Amino acid sequence: MAEILFYVLSALALLTGFGVVLAKSPMMSILSLLGSFFCLAVIYLLAGFQFLAAAQILVYAGAILVLFLFVIMLLNLGDMGVVAERSNSFLDSTAARLGAALAVGLGVIGLVAASKAAFQPAQAEPGKALDGLEAIALQLFGRYSLAFEAASILLLATMVAVIALAKRQRKSGQNPTQNGGRA
């Protein structure tokens, strides 16, 4: 049962992934991405990573994608507005062929590498949670405490950076081009 669910979800994740790339409107891309993330979350759950599955939903779907959504709406890009006028295609035709070839190449390499790995069957007990909350917490505040603290600094720096970048300079409001350049 779980196996079948996994393969179905995998196929769905890949399909929605393609949707991200191929959707004309950014809005559709977002929605596809959301779908893909949900599928992945369930796959995590199936594989025994309950906490990760929750984090995936909360952080990715709940926070990051909403952020994307906000920006799209803020810039009013929902229907490709400005962008569509400038270019014939939403795809970069020159890079498209090379890019496709490259992506296929990478994909093939990934597949071959994975198939060559010759794993033993997984030892973990199916269905049992691998990432118990307590165990994860012990790891994070024990062995990885330094990285954890560094991560907090990274977050702080990100916050400062984002404010600095997105803030409108008040002084020379008349010229938006310059403004953007300095901001």
Partner 1 sequence: MGGTWLLWFIPLLPLFGAAACGLIHFATLAAQKGDGSGKRPSALAPLVACAAIAGSLGLSIAAFKELAALPADARVIESAVWEWIHAGSLKLDISLVVDPLSAVMLLVVTGVGFLIHVYSAGYMKGDPGYAKFFAYLNLFVFSMLMLVLSSSLVGLFVGWEGVGLCSYLLIGFWYEKGWPAEAGQKAFIANRVGDASFLIGSFILIKLFGTLDMSDINAAVAGVASDPAKAWWLTVGALCLFGGCTGKSAQLPLFTWLPDAMAGPTPVSALIHAATMVTAGVYLVVRLNPVFAADPAVMTVIGTVGALTALIGGTSAIFQRDIKKVLAYSTVSQLGYMFLGLGSGAFASAIFHLVTHAFFKGLLFLGAGSVIHGMHDEQDMHKMGGLKHHMPKTFATFLAGAAALSGLPLLSGFFSKDEILAHTFAHGGFHQVLWGIGIVTAAITAYYTWRMVALTFFGKERFDHHHVHPHESPAVMWVPLAVLAVLSVFGGVLGLPPVFHVAHQLETWLEPVTAPGKALLAMHGTHTLSHAAEWALLGLGSVIALVFATLGFRAYVGGTARDENVERTKPALADFLVGAWKIDAKYYAVIVYPAKLVAFVTAVFVDQFAIDGLVNGAGGLATATGNRLKILVDGSLKSYALWIGAGAVLLAFLWMFV
Partner 2 sequence: MNVPSEHLLYLAAGLFAIGVLGFLIRRNVIVVLMCIELMLNAANLTFLAASRQHSTAQAANLDGPVFAIFVILVAACEAAVGLALIIALFRLKQSVEADSLSEMKG
147 binds, among partner 2, partner 1, none (CB under 5 to 8 A by kind): partner 2
CB atoms within 10 A of CB 56: 20
What span, in angstroms and rounded, lies between the C-alpha atoms of 69 and 63?
A: 10
Of these, 112, 124, 133, 156, which contacts partner 1 (CB under 8 A)?
112
Find the binder of partner 2 among 8, 35, 56, 172 (CB under 8 A). 56
- DSSP category for residue 88: S
By beta-carbon proximity to partner 2, the closer residue of 56 and 171 is 56
Any contact of residue 8 with partner 2 (CB under 8 A)?
no
Q: How far apart are CA 13 and CA 16, in angstroms?
A: 5
Give the separation between CA 38 and CA 19, rounded to whole angstroms: 14
User: From partner 1, partner 2, none, which one binds at residue 56 (CB under 5 to 8 Å depending on kind)?
Assistant: partner 2
Q: Is 79 helix (H, G, I), strand (E, B) or coil?
A: coil
**How many residues appear in the chain?**
183
Q: Which is nearer to partner 1, 63 or 113 (CB)?
A: 113
Residues 73-132 that bind partner 2 (CB under 8 A): 74-75, 77, 80, 82-83, 86-87, 89-92, 95-96, 98-100, 102-104, 106-107, 109-111, 113-115, 117, 119-127, 130-132
Q: Which is nearer to partner 2, 127 or 174 (CB)?
A: 127
Beta carbon of residue 107, minimum distance to partner 1 (angstroms, whole number): 10
State the binding string over 89-108 for partner 1 (x if CB under 8 A, else -).
---x--x--xx--x--xx--
Q: Quote the Cα angle for 155-140-149, to 5°.
A: 35
Per-residue b/e over 28-46, b at no fewer than 16 CB within 10 Å? ebbbbbbbbbbbbbbbbbb
